[in-house]
Amino acid sequence: MKQITILILAPHTDDGELGCGATISKAVRMGADIHYVAFSSCGDSLPPGSDPNRLVKELYAATKVLGIPEENVSCLDYRVRHFEENRQHILDNMIQLNRKIKPDFILSPSVHDIHQDHVTIAKECMRAFKKNTILQYEVPWNNYTFDNQLFSCVEEIDVEKKIEAIKCYTSQNARSYTSEEFVRGLLITHGVQIGHQYAEVFEIPRMIVKENEAI
């Protein structure tokens, strides 16, 4: 059976873990080849005098917790809140990633995300990967609306890995949505919706079913 390749697109260094960290853990356990690209090191968001690479270091620590090989993790350096003016360069980056990695699934933010950087990544993803299956993850503090179209059932070990990965971002621990209570509670809420203990949810702007697949 062909190994599944999954590409995680994170506008900022912690978005992949927050949006789909448990699903990443699950995919790693199931033998998928996971690649993670963050588009900003978020240096402008750190307090004056901070180590400008602090969030990059936290990114590598967090993705290690989730089981992603270090060589499959990269961080670009677009300025926070300036993605739109670099839209074409970001699109070019994604086209290159598609040619290099040839992913089966791409996980990105939602086009309903109101953060300007997040929505730029979502829109350019849909251009660059229009011949691929795209799943868009939930970040509810940024979503005015979100359609729970796909539920990824995860286990306690995946929940624990997600929480542990988010805790690696010590620079962000004052944010309410990084708390263990919120992270676990959201996973429980989506699990209740489908009669499972835990789940993460995704929107599906594009699903490709291959000739050798049953549906």
Summarize pLDDT for 17-41 with one digit per residue, the tens. Answer: 999 999 999 999 999 999 999 999 9
Q: Say how many CA atoms lie within 13 Å of 145 toward its Cβ.
A: 3
Q: Is residue 169 part of a domain?
A: yes
Residue 212 — pLDDT band, cuts 50, 70, 90?
confident
Structure-block tokens of residue 62:
């967090």
Domain membership flag for residue 125 = yes
Name the residue type at position 109.
P
Tokens for 184, please give them. Answer: 């676990």
- CATH number, position 72: 3.40.50.10320
Whether 48 is covered by a domain: the verdict is: yes
pLDDT digits (tens, 9 = 90+) for 103-138: 999 999 999 999 999 999 999 999 999 999 999 999
Region 190-209: mean pLDDT is 97
Q: Is residue 211 part of a domain?
A: no
Q: Rounded mean pLDDT of the chain?
A: 96
Grade residue 213 by pLDDT with cuts at 50, 70 and 90. confident
In a domain, 214, yes or no: no
Residue 164 lies in a domain: yes
**The total number of structural domains that make up the chain:** 1
Quickly list DSSP for 55-75.
HHHHHHHHHHHHT--GGGEEE
Which two structure tokens, joined as six digits, stand for 27?
A: 């995919």
User: Can you tell me the mean pLDDT for 133-153?
Assistant: 97
Residue 215 lies in a domain: no
Which band of pLDDT confidence, cut at 50, 70 and 90, is reported for residue 1?
low
Structural domain boundaries enclosing 164:
5-206
pLDDT digits (tens, 9 = 90+) for 156-185: 999 999 999 999 999 998 899 999 999 999
Instruction: Confirm whether 61 is domain-assigned.
Output: yes
Instruction: Tell me the pLDDT band of 214, cut-offs 50, 70 and 90.
Output: confident
